[in-house]
């Protein structure tokens, strides 16, 4: 990893980089002690034993022409919304039947490279007795798992949130890997109308970095997703400013935690005005701002940016079907984004 190599080859850190103008402490003129133990502050943890597999998994999920199927709905959402809408009870058997329909669509692997599963789904079988994980793998679809435990209020902030779930994550991730999962999802959010406060940005970035490091240590490719919410009446320039700050913090802390950049995937928000903004942006503007953000903040080592993620689907070649709650500028903005982007990062 580039950051690890940098630390190994340059153990003496530059003053401007780390101390930001603070004076370096001077040793006593009479006694200078050489203590080898002090150098442990620069120790770089060993690369994950899963490094090669992580890189291979990330490239598979980011393979051109395919995308991620998010089927990580909780039992409450799956039953309370999907099943209730057609008059079915929220039972394990009905959830199993619903998920079986999703993973047995003919030709699914031609369009889907990874599937994010809810914990129950990871351990579930189809109605004919096959493990859902095996059904996915047979179609060259990488099974993934949602590992965060949801958003809770962030004390000391401006009514902002933080994402919980780090407690016990290592043991859970090891168990998920044994069950067949190979990548993980962790969603945290940033609210522009509520600040965002320095505390909320740092908490989001640090949480993502710890989750990413723990996931990689246990063989899971982490999807890094600091979602900047659409709420607010701010303009697109304000979103761009906040997004640059957030992604700078995220990659700083990913580096601090020695996360292997070649073994992660990104899921950035599109750079748009707030949902209540008076001045709307054209699809070309949204695409240009988003692409500029990615070029300024994303290291080239990252193998994939999952920019086509929610609310719409491409069927065949070019037919777009947005849902009713899709912001009108975003589907076309994503098409423009793909056309303007090099194929290296955007599948």
Q: Is 267 annotated in the active site? A: yes
Contact between 65 and 314 (Cβ < 8 Å): no
Length of the chain: 347
* Phi, psi for 115 (deg, rounded to 5): -130, 120
225 in catalytic set: yes
Assign residue 65 a region (left: φ > 0; alpha: ψ between -120 and 50; beta: otherwise).
left
Nearest Cα neighbor of 201 from 158, 246, 257 is: 246
Euclidean distance between CA atoms 58 and 292, whole angstroms: 23
Six token digits for residue 6 = 């940098």
Catalytic-labelled residue, pool 119, 146, 262, 267: 267
Residue 224 CA to residue 226 CA, distance in Å, equals 7
CB 157 within 8 Å of CB 197: yes
The whole-angstrom separation of Cα 159 and Cα 132 is 39
The catalytic residue among 119, 203, 225, 249 is 225
Tokens standing for 281? 């942006």
Q: Write the Ramachandran bin of 316: left for phi over 0, alpha for psi from -120 to 50, otherwise beta.
A: left
Q: Which helix (H) or strand (E) holds 99?
A: helix 92-103
* Residue 116 three-state SS: strand
Beta strands in 199-327 (DSSP E): 221-228, 265-266, 312-315, 319-322
Cβ atoms of residues 68 and 144 within 8 Å? yes
Distance CA 109, CA 239 (A): 35
* Antiparallel, parallel or unpaired: β 221-228 and 265-266: parallel
Q: What are phi and psi of 204, to 5 degrees?
A: -65, -45
Which residues belong to the active site?
A: 225, 267
């Amino acid at each position: 990893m580039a950051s690890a190599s940098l630390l190994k080859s340059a153990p003496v850190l530059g003053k401007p980089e780390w101390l930001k103008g603070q004076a370096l402490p001077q040793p006593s003129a009479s006694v200078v002690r050489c203590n080898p133990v002090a150098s442990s502050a620069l120790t770089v943890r060993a690369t994950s034993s899963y490094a090669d597999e992580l890189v291979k998994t990330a490239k598979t999920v980011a393979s051109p022409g395919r995308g991620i199927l998010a089927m990580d709905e909780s039992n409450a959402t799956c039953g309370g919304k999907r099943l209730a809408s057609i008059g079915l009870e929220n039972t394990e058997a009905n959830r199993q039947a619903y998920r079986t329909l999703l993973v047995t669509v003919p030709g699914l692997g031609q369009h889907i490279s990874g599937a994010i599963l809810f914990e129950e789904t990871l351990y579930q079988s189809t109605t004919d007795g096959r493990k859902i994980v095996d059904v996915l793998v047979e179609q060259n679809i990488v099974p993934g798992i949602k590992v965060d435990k949801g958003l809770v209020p962030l004390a000391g902030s401006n009514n902002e949130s933080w994402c919980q779930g780090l407690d016990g994550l290592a043991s859970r991730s090891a168990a998920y890997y044994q069950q067949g999962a190979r990548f993980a999802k962790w969603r945290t959010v940033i609210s522009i109308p509520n600040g965002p406060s320095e505390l909320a940005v740092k908490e989001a970035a640090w949480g993502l970095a710890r989750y990413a490091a723990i996931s990689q240590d246990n063989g899971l490719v982490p999807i890094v997703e600091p979602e900047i919410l659409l709420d607010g009446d701010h303009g697109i320039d304000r979103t761009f400013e906040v997004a640059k700050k957030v992604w700078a913090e995220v990659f700083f802390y990913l580096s601090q935690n020695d996360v292997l950049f070649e073994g992660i995937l990104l899921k950035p928000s599109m750079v748009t005005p707030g949902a209540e903004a008076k001045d709307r942006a054209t699809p070309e503007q949204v695409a240009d701002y988003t692409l500029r953000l990615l070029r300024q903040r994303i290291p080239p080592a990252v193998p994939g940016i999952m920019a086509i993620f929610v609310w719409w689907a491409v069927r065949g070649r070019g037919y777009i079907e947005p849902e009713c709650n899709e912001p009108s500028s975003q589907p076309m903005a994503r098409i423009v984004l793909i056309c303007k982007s090099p194929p290296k990062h955007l599948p």
